[in-house]
Structure 1
Amino acid sequence: MKTLKNPIKVAIIAASLTLAAGNAMAEEVTWKMATPWGGGPWLERDAKGFAKNVEDLTGGRIKINVFPGGTLSNPLKVTEAVNRGVVEIGHNWMAYDWGRDRTTALFAGYAGSPTPEGYLMWLYEGGGLELWQEYRDEEFNVVSFPCAIIGTEIFLHSNKKVQTHEDFKGLKLRTSGAWAEIASNLGASTIVMPGAEVYTSLDRGVIDATEWGSPEINKPTGFTDIAKYVVVPGMHQPGGVLECEINKDVWAGLSEEDQQAIATAARLSMYESWSAGANADLSAFKEMTDGDNEIVHLDPDFMATIEEATNKWEDEQAKDNKWFARVLNSLRDFEGQLAVWPEYRFPIGGKQ
């Protein structure tokens, strides 16, 4: 315990160990965790951080070995690997299951998402967590917890200046998921490609622009070295969430104490990823602004157009998908409650 510097974490672990004292003789197990991540903060900080929290909160009874994407399963089929029992647990972005059901985008992050702070409140205070777990259980047969927050993304790293809707039309854009459809409806020429090909394609002009992640995630990619324009804000994904999903048979074999410890570890990891990721984004974006890139802010009229197109896309999906409609209604209801936020709260980052 002497090595722990976070007093909140110390208190949580101490309480967990006290509650689990009666379970001290339980058998120790080691799980394999599949991920889609080849490296970076989502692997090194978030997935491994969750594994460390689980080990701490179970008094070492559950150890999780975290593997990079492609080691144990197809990087885009982590849920399948968990469901089939190839691994006990996965760290995943739910929308990688987009092809099976588009409802996954509502939980994972897309153009209509809340901010990271909005996601946190909706999940833990607005009924989102209950919907999340019921959906994953019913439609994918896994036990799932939100376990990391994704920061607001950079809208584009682009070789062409994009500020207005007219600038966006005809843009050769690398993207995926919901935004691929919405951006196409807005006139972009969208291209889906493996992550390993994006840098070379941007450098050679195969694509004009790419979206990828938040400043922290994007800075090491080198996109700023080959694309002059950094376009903000991330209208295509204001926020997002990663998940930790567990095989149902494995989960059923756990004691109630260890199940509660894992749930607590997931919630703690959400806070830690939000805090560390948001802080890392500050310095990463400052490097972009201090460098040779031109920071471009989207025209407000174009932002309104994106919001309108997103609402239309949402309504179309909800017509024929009961789960999509149910989650969308919950999100919209909660965002309606958040509308009063600017009336009494300062924006994050200042008192202006």
Structure 2
Amino acid sequence: MIKSVRSFAIGAALMCGVAVAAVQPAAAQATKPVEWSMATPWAGGHWLDIGAKRFAELVGQMTEGRVKINVFPAGTLGSALKVTETVQSGIAEVGHNWPAYDWGIDRTGVIFGGWSGGLTPEEYMLWLYNYGGADLWKQWRQEVSGVVVVPCGLLETEIFMHAHKPVRTLEDYKGMKVRTSGAWAEIATDLGASTVVMAGSEVFPALERKVVDGIEWGGPGINMSAGFHKIAKYIITPGIHQPSGAHECMFNKDAWAKLSDKDKGLIELAGKLTTYETFIGYAKEDLAGYAFLKSQPGVEFVELDESFIEAARKASFAWADKQSGANAWFKKAYEHQRAFQASIKDWSKFRLPIGAAQ
């Protein structure tokens, strides 16, 4: 089924390109074949394989080889947390990135990348493609960063924490030293924790050596692969700090300008198809990962109390309101997303939640 959908999408894209070419001068549609490098923040795992490499593969297929993208792991072409700078400078023509890693430059990235007051995976799909979220994202990146962006990945709901102690209440959380990133790095401190931001390669050893009391990283699938359950007994859910998120594929503006309109359109479609494939792919991995983690001896799942969840919700929106007063783009993106959230408040009244039928 997935293969047929993929084939249909690619075929439709190529037919669309042929139709466009028929009404435009041939010279305007010609793209000299290019071979580009992609920088990423990922040392390995499914964000590199299902995300970055799959996008590159689809771009090559859809453009019939006119655009070839070679994907490099974290640190190969520049700092793992500075992919945007690597692309801006032209060291890499393409980057696969989580926009909230640009925290120190513009905090607007958390609205698009995912945060504790944000969207579930299903809501992200609607916001990006039915409510104008993707277009707003492109405008923000072009204006603030000077790069061309295509949304190209939809992230799972994360596990709240792998920890050396059970956490249910705010009292349990207070005083903990936690590895995190993005907006939660500040919001968690408002709730009483001490936070540390570190690159992915440092997370496992920091948890293993108890440099930190707990870490957040990803959903059950990727966390299972990382092996956090082997060194920390407690798995805390739900992932209120990151209900979902999204990845971006960014292009150096000078490199992008050399492409034909046809190939630009096909790359946009490759991004949308990768978003769809990651949506279903990560969900499949997470279901399997959750079942595996639940079966492991010595591992204990712990649920946050509703009082903790409500306090985190209030702290998140208070934090965002404060950011809006100091950053016009943050305010614009935040209000756009909040308006969307208000527009779907009746969703649960006529749609059953996933997994409701048993």
Q: TM-score, normalised by structure 2?
A: 0.94
* 8 Å Cα contact 1:20/1:58 also seen in 2: no
* 8 Å Cα contact 1:16/1:58 also seen in 2: no
* Counterpart in the other structure of 2:129: 124
* 8 Å Cα contact 1:159/1:227 also seen in 2: yes
1:217 aligns with 2:222: yes
Question: How far apart, in 1, do the equivalents of 2:198 and 2:112 lie?
Answer: 23
SS at match of 2:292: helix
Shift of 1:206: 2.0
Shift of 1:193: 2.9
Question: How far apart, in 2, do the equivalents of 1:310 and 1:176 lie?
Answer: 14
* Counterpart in the other structure of 2:183: 178
* Counterpart in the other structure of 1:18: 15
* Counterpart in the other structure of 1:344: 350
Question: How far apart, in 1, do the equivalents of 2:202 and 2:75 lie?
Answer: 16
Shift of 1:73: 1.4
Question: How far apart, in 1, do the equivalents of 2:203 and 2:153 lie?
Answer: 25
1:147 aligns with 2:144: no
1:6 aligns with 2:3: yes
Q: Match for 1:17: what amino acid?
A: L
1:328 aligns with 2:325: no
1:247 maps to which of 243, 247, 252: 252
Shift of 1:5: 6.1
Q: Deviations over 1:82-132 (max 9, x none)?
A: 111111111111111110011111100111110011111101111111110
Q: Match for 1:326: what amino acid?
A: K
SS at match of 2:183: helix
2:79 maps to which of 58, 74, 81: 74
* 8 Å Cα contact 1:35/1:69 also seen in 2: yes
Q: Deviations over 1:219-260 (max 9, x none)?
A: 122210111110000000000000000111111111111010
Q: Match for 2:322: what amino acid?
A: E
* Counterpart in the other structure of 1:310: 316
* 8 Å Cα contact 1:145/1:266 also seen in 2: yes
* 8 Å Cα contact 1:31/1:65 also seen in 2: yes
* 8 Å Cα contact 1:17/1:59 also seen in 2: no
Shift of 1:261: 0.3
Shift of 1:6: 1.2
Question: How far apart, in 2, do the equivalents of 1:193 and 1:49 lie?
Answer: 26
1:301 aligns with 2:307: yes
SS at match of 1:147: strand
RMSD value, Cα: 1.5
SS at match of 1:177: coil
1:284 maps to which of 269, 289, 295: 289
Q: Deviations over 1:37-61 (max 9, x none)?
A: 1110111111110011111111111
CA 101–25 in structure 1, closer or farther in 2 if over 3 Å, else same: closer
* Counterpart in the other structure of 2:138: 133
Q: Deviations over 1:189-232 (max 9, x none)?
A: 21223333322222222211111111111112221011111000
1:54 aligns with 2:59: yes
* Counterpart in the other structure of 1:92: 97
* Counterpart in the other structure of 1:195: 200
Question: How far apart, in 1, do the equivalents of 2:341 and 2:202 lie?
Answer: 37
The percent identity for this pair of structures is 47
* Counterpart in the other structure of 2:42: 37
* 8 Å Cα contact 2:167/2:236 also seen in 1: yes
CA 5–351 in structure 1, closer or farther in 2 if over 3 Å, else same: closer
SS at match of 2:282: helix
* Counterpart in the other structure of 1:111: 116
Show structure 1 runs of 5+ residues with no match. none
Shift of 1:343: 0.5
Q: How does 1:266-281 map to 2 (within 5 A)?
A: 266-281=271-286
* 8 Å Cα contact 2:161/2:216 also seen in 1: yes
Question: How far apart, in 2, do the equivalents of 1:57 and 1:180 lie?
Answer: 39
SS at match of 1:197: helix
Q: Match for 1:10: what amino acid?
A: S
